[in-house]
Structure 1
Amino acid sequence: MTLRLEKSARTAHLVIDRPDKRNAFSQEMWELFPELLADAMGDTAVRVLSIHASRKESAFSAGADIGEFVAGVDDPEWRARNQAAIRRVQVELSRAPKPTIAIVDHDCIGGGCGIAIACDMRVAGPGARFGITPARLGIVYPLHDTKLLVDLVGPSQAKRILFTGQLLSAQEARDIGLVTILADDPYAEAAELVETMASASSHSQITSKAIIRRILDGQQDDDAETTAQFFDAFSGPDFAEGGRAFLEKRKPEFK
């Protein structure tokens, strides 16, 4: 299977496994992705979702399957279905309630880079390269996905990435904010990050992520809902455990 979900302990792994095509996404993969994402988000045992290639030496993803795209470009129905499937992946991944991490060890281009920037964090190895290449194909990047890019790197760097279609090294991608963490072994670094997050309060993480999404979507101040979230947390089980652990000078064990 070219796309699958694996679970271990408190982590779900969405694995991209099409190495013969540099993990390029077919229509079938775009349509399967939301089902696997929903599975991970709906499993109460899963705390974090990581997305990565099936092999460390493989590209994260070369993007959409351009051969398939060219073959279907004159079919309006296929084109509409393809656009809808890609948009659904980007929207649902960027708004997934639990933390998400993209692990990138090699090329992360086009639609593959779109998946990575829709994640909360990107952990990259020194050989990773990032690029969004509509300018090389004469097409236009969607507004929703462009906003994800602008939110990460700012408008000037987003323009450079989109106007040139150039590939950025992992170091440069980190320097401009596209990469969250640069590590010699991104898989080991991501595993350590996941373990640290899994020991913290899931309620705090999920609520914080939702608040950050509100800010990115334009909200500038608290409303009745966010104010209630703030006060309600003090009567919740995570604060009870966190408070006891602090007073007892031990690590909290959040359920």
Structure 2
Amino acid sequence: MSDIVVETKDGVAVVTLNRPHQRNAVTYQMWQHLAELFEGFNDNPAVRSIILTGSGNDFSAGADISEFEAVRSGLEESKRYEIAVDAAGDAIYRVSKPTIAALRGYCLGGAAHLAMSCDFRVAQNGAIFSIPAARLSIVYGVSATRKLFSLVGVTEAKRILYTGKRFSADDALINGFVDQVGDDALSAARSRAAEMAENAPLTIKGAKFILNGCARGELDRASAEKLIDLASDSGDYLEGRRAFKEKRPPLFLGK
């Protein structure tokens, strides 16, 4: 049985962390696999939007601490481990398709990094959040902390990281960690993903690149202009104009 399961239907890929008996705790190999998987989505025309979720009752309890003695026992091992974690998070953050985290049960530690790397976070009632790095004498990574800061602001980020305390789905909605709370996170995520899968991929790719660059204060203006030009010179732009004129839904191909 695979620790990560991918199912694609009608343009929506659902990526499921699949270790329910370990609350979907993420192993070193899973961090590496997630990076490869999300990088591969960039060149997969069958995937128009992506949902990241967990099997069973939880999104994920975070990194699999039980393997730390083997894979993160010293300084060099810790550095290598953090590189893998950041590679996974940044691959999710940078993938050109819209991403939604469907969160239920536990979303702790490194799992919060995965969730924050998505464009949107939908939490199920009863979901529990925490970043307990301070209880392990681990400094939460720069990439993950940057994402936390951009979502909740500096004061709330300090509270979350300094205390390591758990907070509820309602608290997460208030502080900005998630943008929706409901009875069925996966169903809500599917509805949103399906809606975005119908829209122009080149528009979403360009908008995501520009917005992420603005959020990080490091927008590559030349690359942004290339994406704008690519969309303006595409068959999809022609299709959008034709569909508008003919009063029908457009059929976008991403080129």
TM-score (ref. length: structure 1): 0.91
Distance in 2 (CA, whole Å) between partners of 1:129 and 1:166 is 10
- C-alpha displacement at 1:53, in angstroms? 1.0
Q: Secondary structure at the match of 1:166?
A: coil
TM alignment of 1:47-66, pairs within 5 A:
47-55=48-56, 58-66=57-65
Contact 1:125 1:170 in 2 (8 A): yes
Q: Unpaired segments of 5 or more residues in structure 1?
A: none
- C-alpha displacement at 1:71, in angstroms? 4.8
Distance in 2 (CA, whole Å) between partners of 1:216 and 1:38 is 21
Q: Secondary structure at the match of 1:52?
A: strand
TM alignment of 1:180-199, pairs within 5 A:
180-199=179-198
Distance in 2 (CA, whole Å) between partners of 1:233 and 1:5 is 29
Give 1:254's aligned residue.
252
State yes or no: 1:82 paired with 2:81. Answer: yes
- C-alpha displacement at 1:219, in angstroms? 4.1
Give 2:239's aligned residue.
241
C-alpha distance 28-194 of structure 1, shift in aligned 2 (>3 A): same
Q: Percent identity?
A: 37
Q: Unpaired segments of 5 or more residues in structure 2?
A: none
Distance in 2 (CA, whole Å) between partners of 1:98 and 1:229 is 14
Q: Give 2:51's aligned amino acid.
A: S
State yes or no: 1:35 paired with 2:24. Answer: no
Give 1:136's aligned residue.
135
TM alignment of 1:1-255, pairs within 5 A:
1-55=2-56, 58-219=57-218, 223-230=221-228, 233-255=231-253
Cα deviation code 1:172-209 (max 9, x no counterpart): 10111111221211111111111110111111001100
Contact 2:100 2:122 in 1 (8 A): yes
Cα deviation code 1:146-196 (max 9, x no counterpart): 001111111111111111111111111011111122121111111111111
Contact 1:12 1:40 in 2 (8 A): no
Q: Secondary structure at the match of 1:179?
A: coil
Distance in 2 (CA, whole Å) between partners of 1:89 and 1:231 is 29
Distance in 2 (CA, whole Å) between partners of 1:62 and 1:25 is 8
Select the structure with the greater relative contact order (CA < 8 A; seq sep ≥ 6): 2
Across the two proteins, how many residue pairs are aligned to each other? 252
Distance in 2 (CA, whole Å) between partners of 1:72 and 1:232 is 43
Q: Give 2:207's aligned amino acid.
A: S
Contact 1:5 1:36 in 2 (8 A): no
- C-alpha displacement at 1:31, in angstroms? 2.0
Q: Which piece of structure 1 moves more, 79-88 or 143-152?
A: 79-88
Q: Give 1:51's aligned amino acid.
A: L
Distance in 2 (CA, whole Å) between partners of 1:86 and 1:135 is 18
Distance in 2 (CA, whole Å) between partners of 1:7 and 1:223 is 33
Distance in 1 (CA, whole Å) between partners of 2:108 and 2:67 is 17
Distance in 1 (CA, whole Å) between partners of 2:224 and 2:137 is 43
- C-alpha displacement at 1:6, in angstroms? 2.2
Contact 1:11 1:50 in 2 (8 A): yes
Distance in 2 (CA, whole Å) between partners of 1:233 and 1:67 is 47
Q: Secondary structure at the match of 1:39?
A: helix
